[in-house]
Amino acid sequence: MYCSKCGKQIADDSRFCPECGAQLGGGISQPPPPTTSAAGTRDQVRQPDIVYPKNPPLSPHLCWVNLLLSGLAQIIHGQVAKGIVILAVTIASNLVLPFILALVIGAVSVIDAFMVGKALKSGVAIGKWSWFPKT
């Protein structure tokens, strides 16, 4: 049986909910539907295409590691595929026009990594492929 107030599963012969303390009337209630909000509750259903904030949050200033290896900050923040694509495009651009395109891609990836880190640090869940998210 489930508590009619908080929705937690409890023993059938319980008179009070051990979670919220509500008095039970003996009726059986249905469990609440799963939540899909990005607010971060403990009962939240995680979606595979969303990057959720870490606890403790990572610093947005982690973006500077992109100067060493483009896309590394995105990988650390959880946007793995996006970081690998940035790295591959940086390497390919060095074959076409050495260093000039790589510098532009590097600058864009640092700005994007900072904004991703800032959004995650503020508690906002973002998409795995979102660019320059707003907080």
- Examine residue 86 and state whether it is found in any structural domain, yes or no: yes
Q: What is the mean pLDDT of residues 22-50?
A: 61
Whether residue 86 has pLDDT greater than 80: yes
**Does residue 74 belong to any structural domain of this protein?**
yes
Residue 42 domain-assigned (yes or no): no
Q: 43 lies in a domain? A: no
DSSP 20-45: T-PBP-S--BPPPPPB--SS--TTBP
Does a structural domain hold residue 64?
yes
Domain count of the chain?
A: 1
Task: Over range 53-75, report the average pLDDT.
Answer: 84
Q: Is residue 71 part of a domain?
A: yes
Range of the domain at 103: 50-127
Q: Is the whole model's pTM more than 0.85, yes or no?
A: no
Report the percent of the chain where pLDDT is more than 90.
4
Nearest Cα to Cα of residue 123 among 39, 37, 43, 35: 39
Angstrom distance (rounded) from CA 23 to CA 30 = 16
* Cα 29 from Cα 41, distance rounded (Å): 22
Q: What is the pLDDT of residue 84?
A: 92
* Residue 106 to residue 51: CA distance in whole angstroms: 22
Closest C-alpha to 60, from 108, 114, 3: 114
